[in-house]
């Protein structure tokens, strides 16, 4: 699914709305196909009444509550029990020598398809293998939905409002067309083979926390296109709002400066002044956190837009540029472990803060051939797994279950209902000891990929997994948003919790640059991979490659003709 | 004793087949992760760290800068001079922030509470330990969840207290 792009000037045919094939439909074996032809859905439907679902989402056959199912051949009750879909007899399979399920298929003609009673899975007695049929899964799911306590168990089967998303994406694309023209006008004359918009930012006195985030945002494709295509008009802004302060205006000024072609380091003094006027409690030049700054900045941009125009009332979505680029939707399911009742809530987010997964136990072991020691490395995927793992809420956190009408032990599970255009992943590199009332930074290395597929963390995938991975359409499946992301910026922190230094690595046209305040240098992939990631910025793959294409088109040839792409000269 | 171990064996068998059945489905439906890709990533990561740690190779991450990609050099403290937009004085870039802090009267006085907003910016919203959705406009109201930059100075402590002012 991930395409390795080696050629820098390769034009990638990108389907704008690629549907997400979340699962493949396996081909049935001959025996299952024959069974379906003869019996259709009869067997599945009559089976429904015998199915029983437990609160953890697992379905089993529960034919007779008073008797243990016994094998029709040996009357045994041990081993795996298989229920014949044609004659309803039960056969056991305890070993390859004692396979009565197979025996049944040989003694009774055509009795080849059975159901594993413990898991409600189809089993072909001749192939001796688990087989799959969407119709069977659908039948099981319908029973599950009907049986589970009210409230659909978080299984909201309503149609996704994908119309707004499409408008958003197409708007972003049209933005990029305008910005390309603008840049051609702006940068004409300066012969440059350096990436567009690469410029150092002066440290104004411990402001690397701000510089590092600014560098990442200046190169976030949808944000860059928005500001460069003059979507935030400073003139209009001043006229409209009575409050002359506007962080977006100051941010716009930085874009103009950084993309002007001037390569001497820029001092974002006006921006700092503006930000401090808005964020009174954060106005201190010492001990600032880059993530806090990022959130604060988005907050200011959002607030200003809210003053100017009211957000859409019908679905509560905000269409300010901060939300349009960074906002996603998180889903939280809290399930009662007694009855299975699930309460679901949705919360918007502009980033995802991840706990650093512990290196002992849940992460991948790497046995490096050159290095005899095998190490346990924390990975970004591991952190995302941890984020979406069901968490047992403590006994002191018992929640009131609507169905049981009592306080019960519960499980909580997070998932992503809607992905943003730009995904900011924040790694919580700190440990707090309540006893010693101290925190310390976790320097442990975190492996992070350059290409990221977020599909396993979507609500549809998490839900599907919770209900046994049945072939069934879950909420969000019909979404046309791609789940493939490309890394374009990494904000790293070095030093201790109380003091340190922030540096940003930018990926432009598949080359990495280090932005260390005023210093812009070229670095190799290795440096980035080995760095200590704190904030990782990923953008939808399609937008990343579109931005790269634009970069290529803007390389000036020595003759100053903007339409002829040049080969790499640096 | 034999009976107990017999039952244990049965339970284990049942669990093993359960896991096998689940993995079988995940694999057949194409829901499993690309293990080859992940292994490749881990290898690249390990290689990268070896190369960066090697003192003989030029460590880009830690070497002192000579020139940047544009051929420029920069002093340790930015020496561009501009006017402070608050008081009008000429300030050197690298000293601007500390100047502005005093100039704007920040850092040593109690600050007003920040306004709330809708970015849903709270970390506590979906933190793993609290099921109740708490809301705060900034990512954390405690100094715990922050990686600071710069050096802790005298104003540091003051700032620490100030951070708790808004809850």
Q: What is the pLDDT of residues A19-47, one digit of tens each?
A: 345 678 889 999 999 999 999 999 999 99
pLDDT the model gives residue A244 = 66
Residue A62 falls inside a structural domain: yes
Torsion of CA B86, B91, B96, B101, to 10 degrees: -40
pLDDT higher than 50, residue B126: no
pLDDT the model gives residue B140 = 34
Q: How far is CA A568 from CA A181, A187, A511, A545, A565, in A?
A: 22, 18, 11, 18, 9
Residues of B5-24 as b/e, b for ≥16 C-beta within 10 angstroms? eeeeeeeeeeeebeeebbeb
Please name the residue that has the structure tokens 């089976």. A47
Residue tagged active-site, from A339, A445, A501, A553: A501
Tell me the average pLDDT of chain A: 81
Question: Do the Cβ atoms of A288 and B65 come within 8 Å?
Answer: no
pLDDT the model gives residue A287 = 67
pLDDT the model gives residue A188 = 46
- Active site includes A515? no
CB A201 within 8 A of CB A214: yes
Which CATH number characterizes residue A51's domain? 3.30.40.10
Q: How far is CA A21 from CA A25, A481, B30, B139, in A?
A: 10, 11, 10, 35
pLDDT the model gives residue A369 = 42
Question: How far is residue A277's CA from residue A271's CA, in Å, rounded to a whole number?
Answer: 10
Please name the residue that has the structure tokens 């003989």. B56
pLDDT higher than 50, residue A557: no
Residue A520 falls inside a structural domain: no
Among A269, A302, A392, the residue to mutate for chain B (most B Cβ within 10 A): A269
Question: Do the Cβ atoms of B72 and A263 come within 8 Å?
Answer: yes
Torsion of CA B1, B3, B4, B10, to 10 degrees: 150
The three-state secondary structure class of A364 is strand
Beta-carbon contacts of residue B90 (< 8 Å; ≥ 6 apart): B81, B82, B83, B84
Question: Do the Cβ atoms of A283 and B106 come within 8 Å?
Answer: yes
pLDDT the model gives residue B158 = 27
Residue A128 falls inside a structural domain: yes
CB A274 within 8 A of CB A196: no
CB B50 within 8 A of CB A370: yes
Q: Count chain A–chain B contacts defined by CB atoms under 8 A.
A: 335
Q: Once rounded to an integer, what is the mean pLDDT over residues B128-135?
A: 29
Q: Once rounded to an integer, what is the mean pLDDT over residues A208-219?
A: 96
Residue A542 falls inside a structural domain: no
Residue tagged active-site, from A208, A320, A336, A383: A208
Residue A47 falls inside a structural domain: yes
The pLDDT > 70 percentage for chain B reads 60
Residue A99 falls inside a structural domain: yes
Q: φ, ψ for residue B49 (rounded to 5)?
A: -70, -35
Q: How far is CA A265 from CA A254, A259, A273, A507, B106, in A?
A: 12, 12, 18, 19, 27
- Active site includes A208? yes
On chain B, the residues whose CB falls within 8 A of the CB of A493 are 147, 149
Q: Once rounded to an integer, what is the mean pLDDT over residues B68-95?
A: 93
pLDDT higher than 90, residue A146: no
pLDDT digits (tens, 9 = 90+) for A80-124: 899 999 998 999 988 878 888 888 988 888 899 999 999 999 999
Beta-carbon contacts of residue A486 (< 8 Å; ≥ 6 apart): A450, A451, A452, A507, A538, A539, A540, A541, A544, A545
pLDDT the model gives residue A308 = 62
> Which residue, A61, A11, A6, is CA-closest to A565?
A11
Residue of higher predicted confidence among B165 and A492 = A492
Domain extent at residue A113: 30-146
pLDDT higher than 60, residue A67: yes
pLDDT the model gives residue A523 = 94
CB A374 within 8 A of CB B46: no
Residue A160 falls inside a structural domain: no
Residue A318 falls inside a structural domain: no
The pLDDT > 70 percentage for chain A reads 77
Question: Domain count of chain A?
Answer: 1
Question: How far is residue A293's CA from residue A272's CA, in Å, rounded to a whole number?
Answer: 11
Is B102 near chain A, with CB under 8 Å? no
Retrieve residue A206's tokens: 């411990």
Other Cβ atoms less than 10 A from the Cβ of A378: the count is: 22
The beta strand positions in A203-341, using DSSP E, are: 328-336
Residue A392 — very low, low, confident or very high, per pLDDT cuts 50/70/90? very high
Question: How far is residue A555's CA from residue A563's CA, in Å, rounded to a whole number?
Answer: 8
Q: Once rounded to an integer, what is the mean pLDDT over residues A413-431?
A: 94
């Amino acid at each position: 699914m991930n395409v390795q792009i080696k050629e820098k000037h390769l034009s990638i045919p990108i389907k704008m709305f690629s549907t997400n094939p979340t699962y493949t439909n396996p081909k049935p074996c001959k025996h299952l196909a024959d069974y379906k032809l003869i019996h259709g859905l009869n067997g599945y439907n009559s089976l429904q009444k015998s199915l029983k679902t437990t609160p953890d989402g697992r379905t089993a056959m529960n034919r007779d509550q008073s008797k243990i199912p016994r094998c029709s051949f040996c009357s045994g009750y041990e081993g795996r029990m298989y229920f014949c879909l044609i004659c309803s007899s039960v056969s056991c399979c305890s070993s390859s020598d004692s396979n009565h399920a197979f025996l049944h298929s040989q003694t009774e003609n055509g009795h080849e398809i059975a159901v594993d009673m413990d898991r409600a899975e189809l089993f072909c007695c001749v192939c001796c293998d688990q087989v799959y049929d969407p119709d069977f899964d659908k039948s099981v799911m319908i029973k599950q939905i009907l049986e589970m306590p009210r409230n659909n168990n978080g299984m909201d089967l309503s149609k996704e409002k994908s119309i707004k998303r499409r408008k958003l994406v197409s708007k972003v694309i049209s933005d990029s067309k305008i910005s390309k023209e603008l840049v051609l006008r702006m940068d004409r004359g300066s012969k440059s083979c350096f990436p567009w918009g690469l410029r150092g930012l002066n440290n104004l006195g411990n402001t690397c926390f701000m510089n590092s985030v600014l560098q990442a945002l200046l190169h976030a494709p949808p944000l860059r296109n928005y500001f460069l295509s003059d979507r935030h008009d400073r003139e209009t802004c001043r006229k409209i709002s009575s409050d002359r302060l506007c962080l977006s205006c100051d941010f716009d000024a930085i874009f103009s400066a950084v993309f002007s072609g001037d390569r001497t380091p820029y001092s974002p003094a006006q921006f700092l002044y503006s930000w401090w006027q808005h964020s009174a409690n954060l106005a201190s030049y010492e001990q600032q956190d880059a993530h806090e700054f990022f959130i604060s900045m988005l907050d200011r941009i959002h607030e200003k837009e809210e003053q100017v125009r009211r957000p859409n009332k019908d679905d509560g979505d905000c269409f300010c540029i901060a939300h349009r680029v960074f906002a996603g939707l998180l889903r939280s399911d809290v399930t009662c472990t007694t009855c299975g009742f699930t309460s679901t809530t949705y919360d918007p987010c502009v980033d995802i803060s991840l706990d650093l997964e512990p290196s002992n136990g849940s992460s991948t072991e790497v046995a490096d051939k050159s290095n005899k020691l095998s190490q346990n490395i924390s990975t970004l995927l591991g952190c995302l797994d941890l984020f979406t793992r069901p968490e047992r809420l403590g006994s002191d956190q018992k929640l009131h279950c609507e169905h049981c009408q009592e306080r019960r032990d519960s499980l909580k599970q997070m998932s992503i209902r809607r992905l943003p255009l730009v995904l900011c992943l924040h790694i919580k590199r700190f440990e707090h000891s309540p006893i010693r009332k101290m925190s310390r930074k976790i320097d442990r290395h975190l492996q992070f990929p350059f290409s990221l597929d977020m599909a396993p963390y979507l609500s549809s995938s998490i839900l599907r997994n919770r209900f046994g991975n049945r072939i069934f359409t879950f909420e969000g499946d019909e979404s046309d948003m791609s789940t493939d992301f490309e890394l374009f910026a990494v904000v790293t922190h070095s030093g201790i919790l109380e003091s340190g230094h922030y540096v940003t690595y930018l990926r432009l046209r598949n080359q990495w640059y280090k932005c260390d305040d005023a210093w812009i240098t070229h670095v190799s992939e290795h440096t980035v991979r080995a760095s200590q990631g704190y904030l990782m910025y990923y953008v939808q793959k399609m937008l990343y490659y579109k931005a790269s294409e634009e970069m290529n088109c803007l390389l000036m040839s020595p003759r100053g003709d903007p339409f002829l792409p040049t080969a790499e000269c640096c | 004793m034999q009976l107990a171990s017999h039952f244990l064996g049965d339970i284990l068998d049942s669990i093993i087949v359960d896991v096998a059945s689940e993995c079988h489905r995940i694999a057949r439906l194409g829901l499993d992760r690309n293990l080859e890709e992940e292994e490749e990533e881990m290898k690249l990561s390990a290689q990268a760290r070896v190369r960066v740690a090697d003192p003989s190779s030029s460590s880009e991450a830690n070497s002192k800068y000579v020139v940047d990609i544009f051929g420029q050099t920069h002093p340790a403290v930015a020496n561009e001079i501009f006017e402070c937009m608050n008081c009008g004085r000429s300030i050197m870039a690298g000293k601007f922030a500390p100047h502005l802090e005093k100039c704007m009267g920040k850092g040593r006085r109690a600050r007003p509470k920040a306004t709330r907003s809708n970015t849903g910016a709270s970390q506590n919203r979906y933190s793993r330990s609290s099921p109740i959705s708490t809301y705060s406009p900034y990512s954390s109201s405690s100094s715990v969840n922050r990686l600071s930059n710069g050096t802790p100075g005298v104003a540091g402590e003051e700032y620490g207290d100030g951070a708790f002012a808004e809850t």
